[in-house]
Amino acid sequence: MELLASNVCFGGEHRRYRHRSEVLDCDMEFAVFLPPAAIAGQPKPVPALYWLSGLTCTDQNFMQKAGAQRRAAELGLAIVCPDTSPRGVNLPGEDDSYDFGSGAGFYINATREPWSRHYHMYDYVVSELPELLERELPLTGKRSISGHSMGGHGALICALKNPGRYQSVSAFAPIANPTNCPWGRKAFSGYLGDDEETWKEWDATLLIPEAKERLPLLVDQGTADDFLEQQLAPEALADACEKAHHHIDLRMHRGYDHSYFFIASFIDDHLNHHARALGLSRSA
């Protein structure tokens, strides 16, 4: 992997890299924050939080706007931010809308042509990227996962579908029941085709009853989020959890919207949640 940039930040380092992804069949860029412990004279391997961003984002939105580095540096936690879709693959229509194609990979594996040639973001974030980073960087191989909106849902399905792979999971304003909202239906019909049966394995709310591992879900949602009613439906996820006795801490925050101002306001709670599960000693 090729180092594109690095910035010292709270005694740690924010780095951007480019690499060739085999599962996406294109070059990808991603960002990593390494806490001071991982870059000191004798670097000590640290666990990693994978952050999946939402529609229109790159690896940079979270790194520049969430303000997560201060607490991550204190905790000794690395943060990995992948991009949100394959890039530069020149599929017809890939840049036509903000909620499909570039910037909108939905962290699923497309099965429908032409998207199936590149759009395997699920395999990328669950397997290829961690395998690469755990080879190349001082990471322990212990992982947690979180994200926002499309990426909040991505985090939920990555954890629900892979028992034992993550120590903890959380989400900000996830698209909680994508088979039942316009963003999700557009993406799933485009990437998976018209047979809605095939959509079910990619919907967190529908995966809850079958979940093999009972990781508690921490979900934060703003009440002034413009997408809350039409797209996000956290109550569908909470209902599914209640029926299946799956623990969920759904926190509704009055007045907060869908932006990174909301994420920045509560990111420390999420970092502490993950640090506890990862056994980091300075966790609150």
Ligand X SMILES: N[C@@H](CCC(=O)N[C@@H](CS)C(=O)NCC(=O)O)C(=O)O
Site of interaction with ligand X (CB under 6 A): 54-57, 61, 65, 98, 148-150, 258-260
Shortest-Cβ-distance residue relative to ligand X: 54
225 is catalytic: yes
Q: Smallest gap, in angstroms, from Cβ of residue 56 to ligand X?
A: 5
**Residue 12 class from Cβ within 10 Å (0-12 exposed, 13-18 middle, 19+ buried)?**
buried
Whose Cβ is closer to ligand X: residue 149's or residue 167's? 149
Nearest alpha-carbon partner for 183 in 109, 107, 104, 120:
104
Angle at 50 between CA 45 and CA 56, to 5 degrees: 145
Whose Cβ is closer to ligand X: residue 69's or residue 149's? 149
Which token pair is 217? 């879900």
Q: Smallest gap, in angstroms, from Cβ of residue 261 to ligand X?
A: 9
Contact 32, 79 (CB under 8 A): yes
Give the active site residue among 14, 118, 258, 273.
258
Contact 166, 155 (CB under 8 A): no
Nearest alpha-carbon partner for 126 in 164, 159, 84:
159
Which token pair is 20? 């060739």
Give the active site residue among 85, 144, 149, 283.
149
Nearest alpha-carbon partner for 128 in 23, 271, 242:
23
Q: Smallest gap, in angstroms, from Cβ of residue 226 to ligand X?
A: 8
Distance CA 253, CA 281 (A): 29
Give the active site residue among 225, 246, 270, 274.
225
Q: Smallest gap, in angstroms, from Cβ of residue 203 to ligand X?
A: 17
Whose Cβ is closer to ligand X: residue 72's or residue 150's? 150
21 is catalytic: no
Distance CA 23, CA 1 (A): 15
Q: Smallest gap, in angstroms, from Cβ of residue 280 to ligand X?
A: 27
> What residues are annotated to the active site?
149, 225, 258
